[in-house]
Amino acid sequence: MDSETIQVTTGGRPATVDITLEARSFVRGRGDGLLSIFVPHATAGVAIMETGAGSDRDLLAHLDTLFPRDDRWTHRHGSAGHGSDHVVPAFIAPSITVPVLGGELQLGTWQSIVLVDPNAGNSKRTVRFSFVG
Amino acid sequence: MDSETIQVTTGGRPATVDITLEARSFVRGRGDGLLSIFVPHATAGVAIMETGAGSDRDLLAHLDTLFPRDDRWTHRHGSAGHGSDHVVPAFIAPSITVPVLGGELQLGTWQSIVLVDPNAGNSKRTVRFSFVG
Amino acid sequence: MDSETIQVTTGGRPATVDITLEARSFVRGRGDGLLSIFVPHATAGVAIMETGAGSDRDLLAHLDTLFPRDDRWTHRHGSAGHGSDHVVPAFIAPSITVPVLGGELQLGTWQSIVLVDPNAGNSKRTVRFSFVG
């Protein structure tokens, strides 16, 4: 297995970051296998979804609806409502795999690989790519 | 890695389709490894859950509760509320893996592999099976 | 691929159980590859999240908010509201993978691997670990 990490700038606000190009670059020339995308953070996840037509903004807005930033959370570190950031990764997991054939991601036309980071407390994140042939 | 796609008919309405038999057929005789199930569509996902006792219908109904088909979504392509279809795959991901031993899926007794497609705008879908030994 | 199962005691109530130590023990000495964690049950899932600061309790409480234990579910087996237990795994999937380098899980500092079991009807659960090098 080959594995490496990249650094992603989220800017210190709730963010989605399209990392498809980085993933594509990582698998190029590797033949057939599975790409694992893993985020080693407790308040971020990885999604495969359409970007560029508003759905990434829709996702961030809907996270605030489904996981309200109020005082219901017993996790009290950080800013108010930060407890919700720690529950989101149970639903948008920090780990996903994508099949690769001939060094090409087998994504559909409208699919992108997206780092989902509701946590405004960090401006940089690490993403690990690993390839099993 | 071996990889192939199947076509699944959803009928052009929100649907869950049990694809366990197709997955079982794909892995038969392959020995030990991981089966990757991947849906190359931006408005569908894969779940592992019980079918045949109402939970698949419960899931579709509850998607409409958690992701209402109203005008909150900025993604405006397609029918009203279609923006919700694009957010669902962040939660029900289009990618999942199942361990295989001796060519047999290691599912529990009540688990099935299910294509989850809230999008009424498509009547046929593609599912990719890949096996890493 | 090497694969084995462990038994986890949940105590017959909605529970999260940190299984990171068991996963770490399983991969020790195995070199580089992917660890698959798979729960062969239709009413449980696996999450990667922080434990020990309240987020695991927050998750269980929030499951009751997002998937209310009322009479909306058509799945009528078991206790009232049990239908919700069958929908949760579509969102918190029973399968996740973690990259392993040099026999060490590549988890972040605050990440743990957690069995999430909202179902009070079982007191013991099985978890399968599989390693693909």
CB contact under 8 A, B86 and A58: yes
For residue range B8-27, what is the model confidence (pLDDT) as tens digits? Answer: 999 989 999 999 999 999 99
Mean pLDDT of A78-101: 93
Label the pairing between strands A112-117 and B104-105.
unpaired
**By the CB < 8 Å criterion, does B67 face chain A?**
yes
CB contact under 8 A, B41 and A110: yes
Distance from CA of C109 to the nearest CA of B (A): 24
**By the CB < 8 Å criterion, does B62 face chain C?**
yes
**By the CB < 8 Å criterion, does C64 face chain A?**
no
Closest residue to B49, CB basis, from C38, C89, C128:
C89
**By the CB < 8 Å criterion, does A91 face chain C?**
yes
CB contact under 8 A, C41 and B108: yes
**By the CB < 8 Å criterion, does B27 face chain C?**
no
| Structural domain boundaries, residue B68 | 2-132
pLDDT of the residue at C13: 94
User: Is the pLDDT reported for residue A69 higher than 80?
Assistant: yes
CA distance A66 to A50: 20
Distance from CA of A52 to the nearest CA of C (A): 24
Instruction: Give the CATH number, domain containing residue A9.
Output: 2.60.120.460
- Residue B61, classed as helix, strand or coil, is helix
Q: Which residues of A touch C114 (CB under 8 A)?
A: 90
Residue A96 has which token pair? 């996903």
**By the CB < 8 Å criterion, does A102 face chain B?**
no
CB contact under 8 A, B58 and C94: no
For residue range C26-67, what is the model confidence (pLDDT) as tens digits? Answer: 999 999 999 999 999 999 999 999 999 999 999 999 999 999
Domain count, chain C: 1
DSSP E strand stretches across chain B: 2-9, 15-18, 33-38, 45-49, 95-101, 104-105, 112-117, 124-132
DSSP B43: T
Mean pLDDT across chain B, nearest whole number? Answer: 95
A26: buried, middle or exposed (CB in 10 Å: 19+, 13-18, 0-12)?
buried
Residue B75 near residue A53 (C-beta atoms within 8 A): yes
CA distance B85 to C44: 25
Mean pLDDT of B101-111: 98
> Residue B43's closest chain A neighbor by CA?
A49
The dihedral region occupied by A32, where left means phi > 0, alpha psi between -120 and 50, and beta the remainder, is beta
What was the ipTM of the complex prediction?
Answer: 0.96
